[in-house]
Amino acid sequence: MTDIAAPSQTGSAASPKAPLDDVMMAMDVVDTLRHQQDIALRELDAAAREQQLMARLRDIYGQQGIAVPDHILKEGVKALAESRFVYTPPRPSLQVSLARLYVRRGKWGPPLAAIGLAILVGLGGYFLAWKPYQASQVEAARIELAQGLPAQMDALYEAIYIDTKVQQAVTEAEALRTRGKTAAAEGDRAGAEGAIAGLTRLRDTLRQEYALTIVNREGVQSGFWTFPEINTEATNYYLAVEALDADGKALSLPIRNEETGATDTVSMWGVRVPEQVYRSVEADKRNDGIIQRNVVGLKQFGFLEVDYTMPVLGGAVTQW
């Protein structure tokens, strides 16, 4: 029976690795040399640099009570010459920058995540909430302009048509409705709302009921006269009046001031009357302090104008 020979340990077989203790000792030698740069530079420039450097290293470790084999000292000197066990910073590059950025992710990661989350929430709110809300508002405004406002105009016109007792109100209401619907069809919201406001005022005027009476109370003039600026030789006479409803409450009404041309909403104003009417009221009040005939006119439901019970000249003032 033939014996099988054991494989040879020489030739191409791999040599055993150095023990970990030897590697660590060599690293310590290199570290000692690095901290003794003056020695290293001086000795390494000498002719017998390796032997002299090893001698100095034996002395350094001997003083510390450490016995270091020559092969370790030799390996350390060689490693120093080859810059082994020395960290060489990598050259700047994109990869190095990205690696450093990744290493520091603990510092910049949380703030960046918070910013990203805020942006995500903001974009989500904008596209998922605000944009749909805005679109719904636009659509609601479009529907109101196309359908809602014209329907209001029709309702107001019908109320005026039913309440009025004069054709003038129907004519004015029809003109306002036509103008308002044209504005709505053209997308003119202001024009459409203006027509609705006009129809509302017309309806409210028709429904008003009050007695236009001469003011007759302590501290208030019941009448007055002025000289018009355009003709200082003439004299205008006015009775101070107020509109009282069925409960005796004074109403505030829009009155055009003939001296300024402006329309003011007031609860008391002056109605211009002929001089003889003014003198008659003056004498009536002087008699006993009470104006017996104090009703200037009546505003009835369904009418636009006051039905005057005494002669007036059609003008009014709101300040005197």
pLDDT of residue 74: 73
SS (H, E, C) the chain: CCCCCCCCCCCCCCCCCCCHHHHHHHHHHHHHHHCCHHHHHHHHCCCCHHHHHHHHHHHHHHHCCCCCCHHHHHHHHHHHHCCCCCCCCCCCCHHHHHHHHHHCHHHHHHHHHHHHHHHHHHHHHHHHHHHHHHHHHHHHHHHHHHHHHHHHHHHHHHHHHHHCCCHHHHHHHHHHHHHHHHHHHCCCHHHHHHHHHHHHHHHHHHHCCEEEEECCCCCCCCEEEECCCCCCCCCEEEEEEEEECCCCCEECEEEECCCCCCEEEECCEEEEECHHHHHHHHHHHHHHCCCCCCEEEEECCCCCCCEECCCCCCCEECCC
Sorting pLDDT into bands at 50, 70 and 90, what band is 303? very high
Give the tens place of pLDDT for each residue, 228-259.
Answer: 877 777 899 999 999 999 999 999 999 999 99
Give the tens place of pLDDT for each residue, 40-66.
Answer: 445 445 445 667 677 777 777 777 777
Sorting pLDDT into bands at 50, 70 and 90, what band is 105? confident
Q: Which sequence spans correspond to the domains of the chain?
A: 20-81, 116-207, 210-317
pLDDT at 86 over 70: no
pLDDT of residue 285: 92
The larger pLDDT score, comparing residue 113 to residue 72, is at 113
Sorting pLDDT into bands at 50, 70 and 90, what band is 17? very low
